[in-house]
């Protein structure tokens, strides 16, 4: 048995490992880190949202099934590799899909099913609050969902006693603490950059709205406490330990870091928390985070403003739709091959089709697609209809088909990024890509470079995602030295030894993407007609 293996066994036995758990849009993933903050074991659980009574939602009972399933798989992974039973852990971090709406009554009962980031039904509230606060208030934000429920005069409103996000909810049940990380918290209700807590002026303005609707509670009394990276955020209770590990092997008493959404953990996982850095997370949805040097010149409804886990102002460009429709097409190709009697390696199929896109025309050959499985706020659609369109003169090849679908996965995002990079003149030294779109080498990276006309970097850890990111925040909470900033911790202890690869934008790709975007914007009326006529 090698020395490295013995060392890992020692840190498992002594409880020096770090556990990160993220509840993503398609999977719940658990990652165990060693004392060099690298993954040594993992487990995951696949899940999907459902459209129920017009709302995209996830069942919270399945959330716990997924957490327990991913942790059990991780524990089995530890035993198989190291012949060790996982009984104690150094620190734990919880991450989840950002924003959304979870509200509870005085008995801690969920009042309505979890309303996720994917719902585009809060447009009236978003516009009203943006005007009232003179601050961008996206449809996904928790307080926007709350105000929309007020506009709808929903029956559950008088009974609300607590409002949080998915990450905040899981953390609460594990520790008993009603807290939230500042990045996630800044999308629950706007934060004052001076006090690093909820903006008092905006709270007072919202107070007038609650009076108009005859509600007796004050919104500040419903909100979780906001914490910065490194702050104490609670201890895993014995009840919480059983929620994670029903087998009873895991002991309580483990410290947790403040829970964060996938925006914050994406910033951590790509070491993009300093000014002029950015990252793009691309999977079921896609979002870009750019750390700003100064405030934007005005309010843009396409641009969210949130804070980093350390409290820096960040521009967030979010698109509800990225690879879901593309995944559907790959599934169709796989089904066709299976019907032909072939054995299909899905990973190989993705790699082959993605690489084929590199052979396509720079503009996608005149093809057009929209992967709008759900509504898309960036282009002002409350609903979506996936579409593929071509003319008689389009170059309909597999390479152009794949390039068009990869381009369109970035299309709505590019609209928002163009505001930042072209209109506002925001400077970005580097953009890091992570998530499923970047698993196939070069392809997603090259097309994102074309969309942003900026160098795009991908790290060897790009596939680890938010579970690793929240694990790093838990490691910082446990192991930071006095006065050691998160920037220093990440730069010196984590990322200094990690390899990455960068791709510069190809001028032909950049020009071709611009041509594609002209077609994309002009064709939005086709999408509107599809929504109107195809139910």
Say whether both 357 and 497 belong to one domain.
no
Question: Rounded to whole angstroms, how far apart are CA atoms 529 and 511?
Answer: 29
**478 and 359 both lie in a single domain:** no
The arithmetic mean of pLDDT across residues 386-409, rounded, is: 98
Averaged pLDDT for residues 471-482: 94
- Per-residue tokens: 59: 């069942």
Take residue 452 and report the two structure tokens written for it.
Answer: 């942003």
Identify whether the C-beta of residue 260 lies closer than 8 Å to the C-beta of residue 484. Answer: no
Residues 280, 308: one domain?
yes
- Whether the per-residue pLDDT at 48 is higher than 60: the answer is yes
Instruction: Kindly state the greatest CA–CA separation across the chain.
Output: 70
Measured in degrees and rounded to the nearest 5, phi and psi for residue 316 equal: -115, 125
Residues 480 and 459 in one domain: yes
Q: What is the mean pLDDT of residues 225-249?
A: 97
Q: What is the pLDDT of residue 120?
A: 78
Q: What percentage of the chain reaches a pLDDT higher than 90? A: 84
Residue 452's domain is classified under what CATH number?
A: 3.30.420.40
Q: Count of residues for the chain?
A: 535
Alpha-carbon span 310 to 450, nearest angstrom: 30
Q: Are residues 382 and 493 in the same domain?
A: no
DSSP 398-428: HHHHHHHHHHHHHHHHHHHHHIIIIIS----
Structure tokens at 225: 């406490």
Q: At what angle do helices 60-82 and 3-13 cross, to 10 degrees?
A: 140
- 282-308 confidence digits (pLDDT tens): 888 898 999 999 989 999 988 999 999
Report pLDDT digits (tens) over 183-194: 999 999 999 999
pLDDT, tens only, 59-113: 999 999 999 999 999 999 999 999 999 999 999 999 998 889 999 999 999 999 9
pLDDT of the residue at 500:
82
Does some domain include residue 467? Answer: yes
Q: How far is 286 from 270, CA to CA, in rounded Å?
A: 15
pLDDT at 2: 43
Residue 1 has pLDDT above 50, yes or no: no
| Phi, psi angles (nearest 5°) of residue 223 | -90, 150
Asked if the structure places residue 14 within a domain, the reply is no
* Residue 387 and residue 314 share a domain: no
Cα Rg for the chain, rounded, in angstroms?
A: 23
Whether 410 is covered by a domain: the verdict is yes
- For the chain, what is the mean pLDDT? 94
User: 351 with 302, same domain?
Assistant: no
Position 29 pLDDT exceeds 80: yes
For 148-180, how does the pLDDT look when each residue is reduced to its tens digit (9 = 90+)? Answer: 999 999 999 999 999 999 999 999 999 999 999
| Contact (Cβ atoms closer than 8 angstroms) between residue 260 and residue 309 | yes
Range of the domain at 291: 271-321+416-503
Helix/strand/coil percent split, the chain, to 5 = 40, 20, 40
185 inside domain = no
CA distance 301 to 296: 12
Q: Which residue matches tokens 């790709």?
A: 509
**Mean pLDDT lowest for which of 235-244, 317-326, 344-353, 432-441?**
432-441
Among the listed residues 326, 328, 346, the one whose alpha carbon sits nearest the alpha carbon of residue 444: 326
Q: Are residues 371 and 349 in the same domain?
A: yes
Identify whether 495 is part of a domain. yes
Whether residue 336 is found in the same domain as residue 399:
yes
pLDDT in tens, 133-154: 999 998 889 999 999 999 999 9
Chain Cα centroid distance, residue 113: 20
- Asked if 485 and 454 sit in the same domain, the reply is yes
Assign 465 a pLDDT band (cuts: 50, 70, 90). confident
121 occurs within a structural domain: no
The DSSP bridge pattern shows strands 304-307 and 313-319 to be antiparallel
Residue 53 lies in a domain: no
Do 488 and 439 fall into the same domain?
A: yes
Element (H, E) at 203: helix 200-212
| Weakest-pLDDT range from 68-77, 119-128, 223-232, 383-392 | 119-128
pLDDT attached to residue 464: 61
| Element housing 265 (H / E) | helix 262-269
Q: Which of 53-57, 231-235, 396-400, 410-414 has the lowest mean pLDDT?
A: 53-57
Q: Are strands 430-434 and 277-282 parallel, antiparallel or unpaired?
A: parallel
Query: In whole angstroms, what is the distance from residue 116 CA to residue 106 CA?
Result: 22
Token pair recorded at residue 31: 């990652």
Section 488-515 average pLDDT: 93
pLDDT in the model for residue 462: 53
For residue 510, give every residue at least 6 positions away whose Cβ sits within 8 Å of its Cβ, in sequence order, or none. Answer: 450, 453
Contact by Cβ (8 Å): 143, 122: no
Same domain, 434 and 370: no
Number of domains, the chain: 2
Task: Please check whether residue 498 lies inside any domain of the structure.
Answer: yes
């Amino acid at each position: 048995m090698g020395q490295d293996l013995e060392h890992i066994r020692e840190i498992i036995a002594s409880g020096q490992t770090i556990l990160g758990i993220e509840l993503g849009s398609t999977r719940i993933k658990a990652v165990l880190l060693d004392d060099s903050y690298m993954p040594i074991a993992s487990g995951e659980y696949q899940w999907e949202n459902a459209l129920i009574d017009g709302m995209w939602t996830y069942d919270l009972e399945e959330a716990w099934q997924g957490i327990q399933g991913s942790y059990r798989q991780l524990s089995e992974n530890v035993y198989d590799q190291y012949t060790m039973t996982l009984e104690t852990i150094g620190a734990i971090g919880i991450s989840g899909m950002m924003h959304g709406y979870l509200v509870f009554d005085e008995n801690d009962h969920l009042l309505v099913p979890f309303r996720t980031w994917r719902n585009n039904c809060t447009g009236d509230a978003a516009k009203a609050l943006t005007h009232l606060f003179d601050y961008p208030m996206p449809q996904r934000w928790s307080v926007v969902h709350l105000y929309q429920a007020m506009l709808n005069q929903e029956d559950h409103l008088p009974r609300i006693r607590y409002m949080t996000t998915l990450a905040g909810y899981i953390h609460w049940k594990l520790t008993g603490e009603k807290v939230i990380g500042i990045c996630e918290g800044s999308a629950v209700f706007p934060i004052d950059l001076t006090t690093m807590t909820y903006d008092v002026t905006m709270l007072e303005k919202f107070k007038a709205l609650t009076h108009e609707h005859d509600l007796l509670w004050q919104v500040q009394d419903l909100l979780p406490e906001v914490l910065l990276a490194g702050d104490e955020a609670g201890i895993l209770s014995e009840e919480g330990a059983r929620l994670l590990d029903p087998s009873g092997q895991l002991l309580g008493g483990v410290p947790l870091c403040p829970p964060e959404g996938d925006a914050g953990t994406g910033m951590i996982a790509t070491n993009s928390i300093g000014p002029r850095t950015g990252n793009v997370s691309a999977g079921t949805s896609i979002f870009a985070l750019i750390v700003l040097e100064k405030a934007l010149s005005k309010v843009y409804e396409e641009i969210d403003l949130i804070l980093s886990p350390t409290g820096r102002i960040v521009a967030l460009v979010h698109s509800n739709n990225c690879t879901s429709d593309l995944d559907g097409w790959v599934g169709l190709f796989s089904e066709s091959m299976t019907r032909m009697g072939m054995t299909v390696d899905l990973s190989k199929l993705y790699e082959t089709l993605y690489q084929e896109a590199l052979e396509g025309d720079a503009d996608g050959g005149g093809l057009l697609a929209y992967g709008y499985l759900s509504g898309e706020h960036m282009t002002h659609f409350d609903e979506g209809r996936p579409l593929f369109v071509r003319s008689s003169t389009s170059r309909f090849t597999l390479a152009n088909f794949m390039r068009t679908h990869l381009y369109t996965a970035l299309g709505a995002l590019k609209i928002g990024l163009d505001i930042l990079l072209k209109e506002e003149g925001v400077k970005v030294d580097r953009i890091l890509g992570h998530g499923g779109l970047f698993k196939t080498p070069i392809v997603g990276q090259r097309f994102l470079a074309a969309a942003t006309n900026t160098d795009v970097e991908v790290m060897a850890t790009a596939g680890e995602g938010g579970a690793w990111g929240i694990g790093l925040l838990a490691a910082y909470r446990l192991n930071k030295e006095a006065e050691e900033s998160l920037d220093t911790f990440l730069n010196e202890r984590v990322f200094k030894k990690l390899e990455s690869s960068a791709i510069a934008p190809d001028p032909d790709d950049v020009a071709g993407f611009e041509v594609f975007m002209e077609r994309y914007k002009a064709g939005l009326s086709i999408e509107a007609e599809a929504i109107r006529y195809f139910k």
